[in-house]
Structure formats: structure tokens, C-alpha cells
Amino acid sequence: MKINDVILRTVVKGVIFIILTLGVYLFFSGHNAPGGGFIGGLVLGSAIVLLYITYDLETVHKKMPFDFKKVAALGVLLATGTAVGSILFDAPFLSQTDGYFNIPILGEKHLTTVTIFEAGVALTVIGTLVTIILSIGEDE
């Protein structure tokens, strides 16, 4: 059966950028304000799920040929990697560090290793969320 979903497809094409932008914004704002890797990851993951709902599995797979299980694994690896990294500098496990750097054009920015950890969290959340939804969706 062919469903007429012109409105959904058209709206999603616009909305998806708003959601993805919001997700990235939440991710970066998390350092000093509400947000962070988990919430950012949830929003980004929901954007991907929305794509899967609007278009079919094959179309999305063609454009995003990721195995989301491996995305989640990569996320855990990144997060545990930064945690273990502190051991190499002889600091207590999970220690994080930060500093102010002068970057051309952007000006002075506050960079932290927590961001890498949070990126790991975000990837794990995206990977797990999409894997769960896909395995429910694929099961006929």
C-alpha cells in the first residue's frame, strides 16, 4: 500500500536540521548549563529515528551506512579512553583537565577533556537508541 506522506516528508526535510542543530547546541551547552552528552545524544538519536520513520530503512541505510551497535561501542571506547587516559598522567582515574586556548578567528576558547568524554556518552546514547528502535522495527 502506498501511503501519501508528502506533508511528513516535506516537514521533516526542514525540521531535521532544527533538531540536529538543537542536539549539537545542547551537547556543547552542557558544560556550564543544562544539557550535555546524554541529552544531546538523545536529541540527535531522535532525529535519526525520525528519518527512519519518514523514509524507509534501505534509503536511510544507503546514506548512513553505520552499524549503530558499533557506534555505541565506539562511544564507550571514547568515554572509557578518556577515563583511563588520566591514569597515564598519574592522576586519579576519571580526572579531567581543561585550559584556555587562543584559536585564530574564534578567539580565546575554553577547551576541556570532558567534552571528549561527553562525545563518547553522546555516541553511546545515539547508538543504543537507534539500535533499540531498529530491532523493534525490523522484527516482523
Partner 1 sequence: MNNLIVLPLIIPIITAVVLVFLRDQIVLQRIISFVTMGFVCIVSFILLNIVQTEGIIRLDFSGWMPPFGILFVADSFSLLLVLTSSIVTLICLLYAFSMMGQRYEKMFFYPFVLFLVAGVNGSFLTGDIFNLFVCFEVMLLASYVLVAFGGGKRQLRESLKYVLINVVASWMFLVALAFLYGSVKTLNMAHIAQRVAEVGQDPLITTVAILFLIVFSLKAGLLLFFWLPGSYSVPPTVVQALFAALLTKVGIYALIRTFTLMFPLQQEVTHTIIGIMAGLTIIAGCMGALAGRDVYTIATYNVIIGTGFILIGLAVGTESAMAGAIYYLIHDIVAKALLFLLIGMMIYLTGETVVKKMSGLIQIYPIFGWIYFILMLALAGIPPFSGFIGKVLIGQGAIEAHSYILLALGFASSIIVLYSLLRIFLASFFGETTISPEDKKPIPKGAYTSFILLAISIIYLGIGAESIAVYVKDAAETLMNPSIYIDAILKG
Q: How far apart are CA 115 and CA 127, in angstroms?
A: 18
Stretch that binds partner 1, among 16-24, 39-47, 49-57, 91-99 (CB under 8 A): 91-99
Under DSSP, the state recorded for 12 is H
Nearer to partner 1 among residue 27 and residue 117 (C-beta)? 117
Stretch that binds partner 1, among 7-15, 34-42, 46-54, 82-90 (CB under 8 A): 82-90
Q: How far apart are CA 25 and CA 38, in angstroms?
A: 13
94 binds partner 1 (CB under 8 A): yes
Under DSSP, the state recorded for 140 is -
116 binds partner 1 (CB under 8 A): no
User: Residues 58, 110: contact at Cβ < 8 Å?
Assistant: no
Binding site for partner 1 (CB under 8 A): 69-70, 73, 76-77, 80-81, 83-84, 86-87, 90-96
